[in-house]
Amino acid sequence: MHTRLLFGIALTLTGLVALWGILDAQSLTTFATRRVSAVFDSRGWFIMLTTSTLLFVCLGLAVSRYGNIRLGPEDARPEFSTGSWLAMMFAAGMGVGLLFYGAAEPMTHYVFLSSHLDPAEVNDAALFVTHFHWGLHGWAIFGLTGLVIAYFNFRRGTTQLPSAPLKEAFGSNRWTRNGGMLVDVLSIYAIAIGLAGSMALGVFQVRDGLGMLFGISDPGLKLALIVFAALVLAYILPLTKDLSNGMAVLSNTAIVIAIALMLFMLLSGPTHRLMDAVTSSLGVYLANVIPQGFATYAFLDPDVTDWYHSWTLNYMVWWLAWSPFVGVFIARISRGRTIREFLIGVLLVPTAFSLLWFTVLGGMGFFQAAAGEFDAELALANIDRTTFLLLDTLPLSGLTTVATILTAFLFIVTSVVSAAYVLAMFSSGGETNPGTRIKLVWGAVLGALGLALILAGSAQAVRQVIAMSAAPFVFIVLLLMVALLRRLRSEDGS
């Protein structure tokens, strides 16, 4: 009864949002923008305190005696190799966004900060802000959520529902049962909207890449819908297969192509200067990442506040929206690893890769702009096309454009398949191998939501809808953290 009710409520809620977006995308965007603005104005400080707290807890657990605890029986060993584990985790977590924002975000911050900082500081500041958004704080949100699910599921025998740790840690009673259903519904809602938003961003990028490739100056909605249709056809078949069947291959392929693109830029550009930028960026990030986690820009002018809301706070709630999805997916593929191994892998490896990725792509954008080969203002005028415009200034632009389009497409497919699996699992009461039918139902819902956000027409509109869906989860993730710490006290760490 509980499972059917949960499925019915979640499906109705997400379906209504999809219908709203399809029928009146502008109205949905306007509502989301107003709602998000109100939340950021009143609770921005709380969002930053929460993300910083999660990071400190993750780091503390990694170096504590609890780091030796294995996620599962003591004789359990990992199902996937470390390389495949990291690739699947990364592809599910941030793959599409890396391609979309790789050059666009540093260039956007560069343009904005040029009017607020000394010219000598702008490049480092633009890269640092980008690294902060994609670094330790975001992965701490994913890591803590994933650790809670993995620990309670593999160590204490609960289901992988987000509500299960709360019931196990605080006891099953009327409050935890009713509150647990609310947690599950909000988690499903956040996952569905967050994934649909990333699907829309990926479609926008693939569309604009195809436009560059075939010389279409204004690809428009029609080409986006064609890309969307191809995407839906591409993810239907994987939804009928077991999660591990092909997912590692798709994820590994996407990551390998992405790494090849980054190395191509590194080697075809001013390599020594880009490596100087990587080294410098690492130092700037390590020196400022903790203070930045508490920055709220309370006393600066409204332009800076709006920029901070549009980027930093928006990213933090975006990661919160994705945290039940990425957390459960990471938990699913992490059985047998220790807490220390889990947290080091989740926090440090993706952060290091993101720092290298954004420094190379963003640094290349800076150097090309300084040489007059690339117009930085284009990052603001057409953020969907920025990466392709940058590639167009380099050798073999046709080949690299095709590779970027293919990688973006693979990242979208792996994300949709992973999300549909997680949503189906939640809707089946935590069943780790949900049926094909329910996975296909959620695949259809994600497609409808993705279509609604594609009709919204812009990356900024998509980000506002995602932020609206994630706001309640900031409280849920704190409850999950308390449940984990409460139960870890009974472990001896041996």
Greater model confidence, 21 or 337: 337
Cα distance between residue 270 and residue 448, in whole Å = 44
Position 422 scores a pLDDT of 81
pLDDT more than 90, % of the chain: 22
Residue 275's CATH number: 1.20.1740
Q: What is the mean pLDDT of residues 261-275?
A: 90
Cα distance between residue 385 and residue 102, in whole Å = 11
pLDDT of 156-193, one tens digit each?
888 878 888 888 888 777 777 777 788 888 888 888 88
Position 1 scores a pLDDT of 47
Residue 141, domain member (yes or no)? yes
Greater model confidence, 38 or 136: 136
Provide the domain count of the chain.
1
Of 394, 166, 351, 168, residue with least CA distance to 261: 394
Three-state secondary structure call for residue 214: coil
Please name the amino acid found at residue 167: K
Q: Phi and psi for 338 in degrees, rounded to 5? A: -80, 160
Q: What is the mean pLDDT of residues 266-289?
A: 93
pLDDT of 250-260, one tens digit each?
777 888 888 89
Q: What is the mean pLDDT of residues 479-488?
A: 91
Greater model confidence, 289 or 180: 289
Residue 493, domain member (yes or no)? no
pTM of the entire predicted model: 0.87
248 pLDDT band, cuts 50/70/90, is low
Position 339 scores a pLDDT of 93
Residue 492, domain member (yes or no)? no
Residue 494, domain member (yes or no)? no
Q: What is the mean pLDDT of residues 263-275?
A: 90
Position 57 scores a pLDDT of 96
Position 124 scores a pLDDT of 92
Position 342 scores a pLDDT of 93
Contact 89, 348 (CB under 8 A): no
Given a cut of 60, whether residue 494 has pLDDT beyond it is no
pLDDT of 128-160, one tens digit each?
999 999 999 999 999 999 999 999 988 888 887
2 pLDDT band, cuts 50/70/90, is low
With b meaning 16 or more CB within 10 Å and e meaning fewer, what string describes 160-190? bbbbbbbbbbbeeeeebeebbbebbbbbbbb
Cα distance between residue 211 and residue 219, in whole Å = 6
pLDDT of 318-329, one tens digit each?
888 778 878 887
**What domain range includes position 54?**
2-487
Greater model confidence, 243 or 355: 355
Cα distance between residue 328 and residue 336, in whole Å = 15
Residues 6+ apart with CB under 8 A from 105: 130, 133, 311, 358, 362
Position 63 scores a pLDDT of 93
Position 3 scores a pLDDT of 66
Greater model confidence, 293 or 324: 293
Q: What is the mean pLDDT of residues 272-286?
A: 94
Position 95 scores a pLDDT of 65
Q: How many CB atoms lie within 10 A of CB 355?
A: 21
Which H helix or E strand runs over 32? helix 25-63
Q: What is the mean pLDDT of residues 397-422?
A: 85
Given a cut of 80, whether residue 109 has pLDDT beyond it is yes
Q: What is the mean pLDDT of residues 397-416?
A: 85
Contact 452, 28 (CB under 8 A): yes
pLDDT more than 70, % of the chain: 93
For the chain, what is the mean pLDDT? 83
Position 178 scores a pLDDT of 78
Of 239, 251, 244, residue with least CA distance to 90: 251
Position 94 scores a pLDDT of 63
Greater model confidence, 431 or 281: 281
Given a cut of 60, whether residue 492 has pLDDT beyond it is no
Residue 180, domain member (yes or no)? yes
